[in-house]
Amino acid sequence: MKKVILLLAVVFSMAISAKTLTDSQKQEMLKQFSVFQKALEAKDGNTLKGMIKFPILLVEHGRDYDETMKESDFLEEVDDVTEEFKSITYMKVNTENNSVSDYLEKGFACNMKYTGAFKEEELRITGTFVPGESNGCGGYIMYKFKMYKNKLKLFDVERKW
């Protein structure tokens, strides 16, 4: 019986410690995400650099290693980064209902659907393959954002192809 009570206490404390964002926190994250989108569109490396938590881990499932990008390397690769993230600039931010609109990027054989959602303390923008002309598409890319000292930062990019 003591073990059951201890287990319930642990589960309960974990549930309490899992933070969820308030509406005003979500609104602030979305306002700052909009700034991130504009900086991507303008290829403004200095603004983007301030909105990324370095070193940023670039996880690609199915590989034997993960990459990390350091702040010192970022400006050299800003054109590649802005091109890779370009699709999320088309998502519309709505601070009235704390949401990000979906965006469907049509491809030659596969389409990519981008969605935005809050999960615990994070804003996650996820692109998943959806069948286009080919049903052999699969995988996803996920951009994870979090507030650090009241500043929105991209802290993780996860891919699976």
**pLDDT for 59-70, tens place per residue?**
776 666 667 888
Residues 6 or more apart whose Cβ sits within 8 Å of residue 144 = 122, 123, 124, 154, 155, 156, 157, 158
Residue 4: pLDDT over 90: no
Note whether 32 and 134 are within 8 A (CB).
Answer: no
SS3 37: helix
Selection from 161, 156, 160, 151 nearest residue 51 by Cα: 151
Q: How far apart are CA 51 and CA 103, in angstroms?
A: 22
Helix (H) or strand (E) holding 128: strand 122-131
pLDDT at 9: 42
pLDDT of 5 reads 42
Higher model confidence: residue 56 or residue 9?
A: 56
Segment 110-143, tens digit of pLDDT: 889 999 999 999 999 999 988 776 777 888 999 9
What is the length of the chain? 161
Determine how many CB atoms are found less than 10 A away from the CB of residue 52.
18
Nearest to 125 by CA among 95, 156, 147: 156
More reliable by pLDDT, 53 or 4 = 53
- Amino acid identity of residue 94, one-letter, is N
Does pTM surpass 0.85? no
The structural domains of the chain, ordered by start, are 21-160 (3.10.450)
pLDDT digits (tens, 9 = 90+) for 18-48: 578 999 999 999 999 999 999 999 999 999 9
Tokens of 35: 């700034």
Instruction: Give the model's pLDDT for residue 57.
Output: 79
Q: Three-state DSSP class for 120? A: coil
Average pLDDT score over the chain: 84
